[in-house]
Structure 1
Amino acid sequence: MKRLGDVCGFDKSQGIHHGLPYVGLENIESHTGRFIGSSEPLEVKSSTFKFTREHVLYGRLRPYLNKVLAPDFEGHCSTEIFPIKPAPQLSREYLLYWLLADETVERINETCTGARMPRADMNDVLEFDFPLPPPAEQQRIVAVLDEAFAGIGIAQANAARNRLNARALFESHLQSVFSQSGNNWLERPLSELCDIKHGYAFEGEFFSNEGEYVLLTPGNFFEKGGYRDRGEKQKYYTGEIPRDYVLNEGDLLVAMTEQAAGLLGSPIIVPESSKFLHNQRLGLVTKKPGVPWINEFFFHVFNTLQVRKEIHASASGVKVRHTSPKKIGAVMVAFPNSISEQRKIVSTLASLATETQRLESFYTQKLAVLTELKKSLLHLAFRGQL
């Protein structure tokens, strides 16, 4: 073991630097050591640190984000990033991997000061014990990790792509259902098919973190449709409740405020009776008498690209988009003039959604396993067990 400060040191050449690529914290990917910025020269108004290919860059702000980089170019960086220069007996890549290891991140995080903007005490970090094998062994460890991480990286990219493809398959089938409608399909404005009712403006003084009734908000809607349980962020209401605004299982709601990109027009089916409240900014959709309509089918109608596009286009507001029952009612939709056909489509989409979720879960678990494998390899590497 060596003292870290005996084999490397900070090399803070500070000033206004011209004609060099810039590295900010946002340009270093967390936990991977990957550069996600531009190699084009960029000047900034504030003072920066200059670095070369000999340095390791370490982001000291919020060190739990684990932003470390071994640059393959000369540039300048934010003063929240410390250039570290290894001594001749220390491999730069070996130091990089050591800094990426979970145990190192946890130890550095313990040196932090500042509640809102925690920064590592880098002088304390230099006092850490550091495992320094001979140069040849450092090179062997780096070579093993390079090869393993390259393979894991390919596997992660494939798993991430397959997960996206699973979702894309469902979206593609959903759109095809409505673009290849048959002879028994009708096209009508929503205003001829349903009524859309505004929610109630519940009083803020009775909002709570717990209670019997969940106060639905746009945050309870997934952008792709469906109910989202917000966990600890779930909002409850403890005041007097107008009974007309207590929802029933199977009710169809649509988001009329875009709190997040893609949320406007998103639908949910209420999962349980006598538990959820119909809040303002949400529209309760109910069919008109005599209309062939089941909520489960029209849930998917609201999720089609064309319907979402039209709802968004007619909305108002710049930063936060809003719509209204009247504007939604003007949207033209296609649907089969048969309840049995609607049920058949709902059944097919439900089966496909189940398979999509299974595949997404499988690839999500695979990504988690690969992440843990990387952590395990780093753990073994710095205990002489690799």
Structure 2
Amino acid sequence: MRTVELGSVATIERKGVDPLAVPPETLYIGLEHIERGGRIIGHDTVAGAELASTKFQFSPDHVLFGKLRPNLGKVCRPNFTGVCSTDILPIRPGKDLDRNYLAYYLGQPSMVEFAASRTSGANLPRLSPTVLATFPVPLPPLPEQHRIAAILDHADALRAKRRQVLAHLDSLSQSIFHDMFGDLHGGRWERVPFGELVPRVDNGTSPNCEARPAASDEWAVLKLGAVTYGYFRPEENKAYLGDLGNMDSNEVRSGDVLMTRKNTRELVGAVALVDEVRPHLLLPDLIFRLHLDGSRLDRRYFQALMMNPQKRPSVRDLSSGSASSMPNISKARLAKLPLELPPLALQREFAARVDLIGGQRARVEAASAVDDMLFASLQSRAFRGDL
């Protein structure tokens, strides 16, 4: 199979557009609207997002490639026209390249890893358009590209059904929260400063690590992705082969409550609970370990509160940072955040109901992980020419 450079069969279009020069109802996509793995989970409008800086234009003819932290695999196929963050590169395939084929190729795990290895910038790693244009792309005849994309579309549709079940379970948890606790802005519950209910906040350290996840018998440091979406993902880690020193005090333990102190504005302050964890996983500097006063605050209620759509804006507003760095939440500002505090018995009743859903979710998530492994294997075979 012939292999070519991406730039010879596609164009990375970076023509900037002033948001004030397009209709205010124009749809806008930021990195926060693209899920890890490439699914578009939402959008905004130019007016709604209050855009001020230059953006890129895109259409249904483009593949959108997230160049900031490309290890997240944010490669997607929009089905509408709009503008996007300049941290997203619109790629227009040429006449010899199928858009769906290209999106699946760039989104496969091996290419995500390849992209991550070619970034620059320590705190905010980005892939330059020039480097992206040099990526190798296997180029079978167009009919074969169409066939491969159709097979992968069918397999991905089966994965999507499993994701829909997960989304339903997540919305069910939020529905239970709303049914039991109502409008958080309604003044129904006592509001207590975070620092009174969480008297101790620790964070780890971030030593130099390997670019790969750790083997089961190796020490590792968690990545932000282990907490970002409100569920603990221990596989989101980087192997650490150096001297442990006194870092063993940062080892993640069952029962921990973790919170990201630094991330994009949309994702900063996410909270996840550790129910089970393998040994030898360490906290990084970017994740807090929260010590709750269990006599007043249930950990499952607290996690649901902090991730509640009504609460998220006030959590995000705690963050600060320059344009060149990710927003950060300080311990001092966090301590002043008011927390709605229903009676402990009611919190525990909520926790018991959510635990039942959590068991179902764990089973579906395990099946989804198998789906992802099989899909990655299918992608690998497809782009080797083995389908």
TM-score, normalised relative to structure 1: 0.55
Q: Distance in 2 between matches of 1:322 and 1:54?
A: 46
1:2 aligned partner: 4
Instruction: Note the alpha carbon deviations across 1:29-67, whole angstroms, 9 max, x for none.
Output: 220332521478766211111222221111101101111
- The equivalent of 1:76 in structure 2 is 83
| Local SS of the residue matching 2:68 | coil
One of 60, 67, 70 as aligned partner of 2:74: 67
Paired position in structure 1 for 2:42? 36
Contact 1:220 1:228 in 2 (8 A): no
Matched AA of 2:22: H
Work out whether residues 51 and 75 of structure 1, in 8 Å CA contact, stay in contact via their aligned partners in 2. yes
Partner residue of 1:262 out of 276, 296, 305: 305
The Cα of 1:110 is off from its aligned counterpart by: 0.9
Shift of 1:2: 1.3
> Which of the pair has more CA radius of gyration?
1
Does the 8 Å contact 1:21/1:41 carry over to 2? no
Deviations 1:121-144 (A, max 9, x none): 331222222111100001111111
Q: Deviations over 1:185-207 (max 9, x none)?
A: xxxxxxxxxxxxx99x89x9xxx
Could you tell me whether the CA contact under 8 Å between 1:4 and 1:127 is conserved in 2? yes
Residue 18 of structure 1 corresponds to: 22
Q: 1:225 to 1:39 in 2, by over 3 A?
A: closer
Counterpart of 2:6 in structure 1: which amino acid? L
Sequence identity, in percent? 29
Cα distance, 1:253 vs structure 2: 3.5
- Quick one: distance in 2 between partners of 1:332 and 1:163? 23
Q: Tell me what 1:58 maps to.
A: 65
Partners of 1:127 and 1:332 in 2: CA distance? 58
How many residues are matched? 270
- The counterpart of 2:100, out of the listed 72, 82, 93, is 93
The 5 Å alignment of 1:151-170 reads 151-158=158-165, 161=168
CA distance in 2, matches of 1:216, 1:151: 33
Aligned to 1:121: 128
Match of 1:321 in 2: 338
The answer to whether the 8 A contact 2:257-2:273 is kept is: no
Partner secondary structure for residue 382 of structure 1: helix
Residues 155/10 of structure 1: CA separation in 2 closer, same or farther (3 Å cut)? same
Match of 2:141 in 1: 134
Letter in 1 for 2:305: G
Letter in 2 for 1:376: S
CA distance in 2, matches of 1:225, 1:130: 40
Distance 1:118 1:157 in 2: 31
Structure 1 residues 217, 135: CA separation in 2 closer, same or farther (over 3 Å shift)? closer
Q: Take 2:258 and 2:276, find their aligned partners in 1: how far apart are those partners?
A: 5
Distance change in 2, residues 1:48/1:143 (3 Å)? same
* Aligned pairs (5 A) from 1:175-324: 210=248, 219=257, 232-233=282-283, 253-255=295-297, 262=305, 320-321=337-338
Q: TM-score by structure 2 length?
A: 0.55
Compared CA separation, residues 84 and 357, structure 1 to 2 (3 A): closer
Tell me the amino acid that sits aligned with residue 29 of structure 1: E
**What is the aligned partner in structure 1 of residue 187 from structure 2?**
none
Deviation at 1:152, TM superposition (A): 1.9
Superposed CA deviations along residues 253-281 of structure 1, whole A, max 9, x for unmatched, are 43399975538xxxxxxxxxxxxxxxxxx
User: Structure 1: which 5+ runs fail to align?
Assistant: 176-197, 235-250, 264-316, 335-345
Report the aligned-residue RMSD.
Answer: 5.0
C-alpha displacement of 1:356: 6.7
Report the residue type matching 2:337 in the other structure.
Answer: V
Does structure 1 residue 365 correspond to structure 2 residue 371? no
